[in-house]
Amino acid sequence: MNFIGYLNLIYKKQYLYQLTIDKKSCKNNVYPFNLPIIKQFTKLDFHPNVTFIIGENGSGKSTLLEALAIKLGFNPEGGTKFINFSTYKSHSELYKYLKIHKHHEHPENHFFLRAESFYNVATEIDNVFATHNYGGKSLHHQSHGESFFSLMTHRFGENGLYILDEPEAALSPSRQIAMLVIMKKLIKENCQFIIATHSPILLSYPDALIYEIDKFGNMNKINYEETDTYMITKDFINNYHKIQNKLQLF
Ligand X SMILES: Nc1ncnc2c1ncn2[C@@H]1O[C@H](COP(=O)(O)OP(=O)(O)OP(=O)(O)O)[C@@H](O)[C@H]1O
- Please report, as ranges, the residues that interact with ligand X according to CB under 6 A: 31, 35, 55, 57-63, 90
Helix (H, G, I), strand (E, B), or coil: what is residue 148? helix
Cβ proximity to ligand X: between 94 and 151 the closer is 94
Cβ proximity to Mg ion: between 62 and 227 the closer is 62
Question: Which of 49, 59, 62, 131 is the binder for Mg ion (CB under 5 A)?
Answer: 62
Cβ proximity to ligand X: between 164 and 187 the closer is 164
Contact 170, 140 (CB under 8 A): no
Buried b (16+ CB within 10 A) or exposed e, 144-161: eebbbbbbbeebbeebbb
Stretch that binds Mg ion, among 57-65, 86-94, 130-138, 170-178 (CB under 5 A): 57-65
- Count Cα neighbours of 134 within 13 Å in the Cβ-side half-sphere: 25
Residue 114 pairs in a beta bridge with 165
Cβ proximity to Mg ion: between 134 and 211 the closer is 211
Q: What angle do CA 67, 108, 77 make, to 5 degrees?
A: 30
Cβ proximity to ligand X: between 94 and 187 the closer is 94
Cβ proximity to ligand X: between 48 and 76 the closer is 76
CB of 103 to ligand X, least distance (A): 27
51 binds Mg ion (CB under 5 A): no
Cα–Cα distance, 139 to 60 (Å, whole number)? 29
CB of 111 to Mg ion, least distance (A): 17
Which residue has the closest beta carbon to Mg ion?
62
CB of 91 to Mg ion, least distance (A): 13
What type of residue is 37?
Answer: I
CB of 236 to ligand X, least distance (A): 18
- Give the per-residue SS3 of 23-70: HHHCCCCCCCCCCHHHHHCCEEECCCCEEEEEECCCCCHHHHHHHHHH
CB of 40 to Mg ion, least distance (A): 18
Cα–Cα distance, 194 to 113 (Å, whole number)? 10
CB of 63 to ligand X, least distance (A): 3
Q: In angstroms, what CA-CA distances link 18 with 21, 99, 165, 175, 188? A: 10, 8, 19, 31, 21
Stretch that binds Mg ion, among 22-30, 31-39, 54-62, 82-90 (CB under 5 A): 54-62
Question: 20: burial class by Cβ within 10 Å (0-12, 13-18, 19+)?
Answer: middle
Q: Please tell me the count of residues contacting Mg ion according to CB under 5 A.
A: 2
Contacted entry of Mg ion, ligand X, none for residue 60, CB cut-off 5 to 8 Å set by kind: ligand X
Interface residues with Mg ion (CB under 5 A) are: 61-62
